[in-house]
Amino acid sequence: MSRLDPFRVRVRVPATSANLGPAFDCAGLALAHHDVLHFSVQASGLTVEVSGVGAGELPTDESHLVVRAFRAACAELGWTPPGLRVVAENAIPQGRGMGSSAAAVVAGVMGAWALCPEVDTIDGNAVLRLTTAMEGHPDNVAACLLGGLTLSWTGGEGVGADSLTVHEDVLPVVLVPDATLSTEVARGLLPDVVPHADAAFNAGRSALLVHALTSGGLLLEATEDRLHQRQRAAAMPGTLALIERLRGAGHAAVVSGAGPSVLVLARRTVRSADRAPGAEEIEDVAALVPDGWRVLPLDIDPTGARIDRPRRQVSSR
């Protein structure tokens, strides 16, 4: 009998939607739509297997974003495994403003922390700092890590984040187009300077947004924006046209992250006793969506990234 003790871990990470209209680079929602990553230490070399979204397209070498994040965390921890196997089961759409890169970075960093034999617990502050450094801003990674509605910030002591509980009546609906858009292109369209009146407007709406998401009301008013959505219309005209159409019909629609997906903050209202809460509003939204877009009603993920600890296996020959 030989005892096998492969060090392995499973990490589940949620999709996220950042900005939420006015709260540019400082707010995000965790959505119940997940990538699942399996990490294990092997004798040598690197093995990367990808199924689902990105299969056959994503790299399977050291350039894979999950692997790069894993290596960055290993450098932070001062630990190098002899070999690594990563199995990615992807469901989050990529290049569409649903936090796929943040999920990959969070999964890689947390996978390394969970596998490292030198540490007993995961340092959440260190993980947030490292993932923010890799992403460039904390809104998506904070939501991915903590779940719920997250508010994030940077200051003299580094990056911080906190999570709030979203009201049960809020029903996120993500509208996903066929087209993709890189975050770098989208951010490159933003001006370096904004008018004071627009900054003040968004500051007020950002405060209202927190109230709206935690109380379930005033969602349309709270999601107004003047800082970043219209400014990026040239890169995603279909997205902005759809948002105008939805908002004109009374739906709280915003660009999801850098786009081109649209996030609608619907309500779980009950119009008829024989229908599920929110069903009619989802149908109203779907009726305004052009061909070629997917309609994804999603729950809020209240917990964020989750880890299953390694287990010992025994085999006999």
Residue 308 has pLDDT above 90, yes or no: no
CA distance 97 to 292: 17
The answer to whether the CB of 243 falls within 8 A of the CB of 254 is yes
Partnered with residue 159 across adjacent β-strands are 154
CA distance 262 to 246: 10
CA distance 40 to 306: 16
Sketch the domain layout of the chain as residue ranges.
2-164+301-315, 170-297
DSSP state of 108: H
Q: What are 66-119's pLDDT values in tens digits?
A: 999 999 999 999 999 999 999 999 999 999 999 999 999 999 999 999 999 988
* Closest alpha carbon to 13 in 28, 34, 29, 30: 34
User: What is the band of 183 on the pLDDT scale with cuts at 50, 70, 90?
Assistant: confident
State in words which class domain 2-164+301-315 has: alpha beta
Angle between helices 65-77 and 124-135 (to 10 degrees): 130
Tell me the pLDDT of the chain averaged across its residues: 91
CA distance 295 to 20: 18
Residue 283: half-sphere exposure toward Cβ, Cα within 13 Å: 9
DSSP state of 278: T
Q: What are 206-250's pLDDT values in tens digits?
A: 999 999 999 999 999 999 999 999 988 888 999 999 999 999 999
Mean pLDDT of 138-158: 95
In this structure, whether the domain defined by 170-297 belongs to CATH 3.30.70.890 is answered with yes
Could you check whether 2-164+301-315 and 170-297 share the same CATH topology? no
The first and second tokens of residue 24, run together, are 């540019």
Strands 306-308 and 262-267, by their bridges, are unpaired
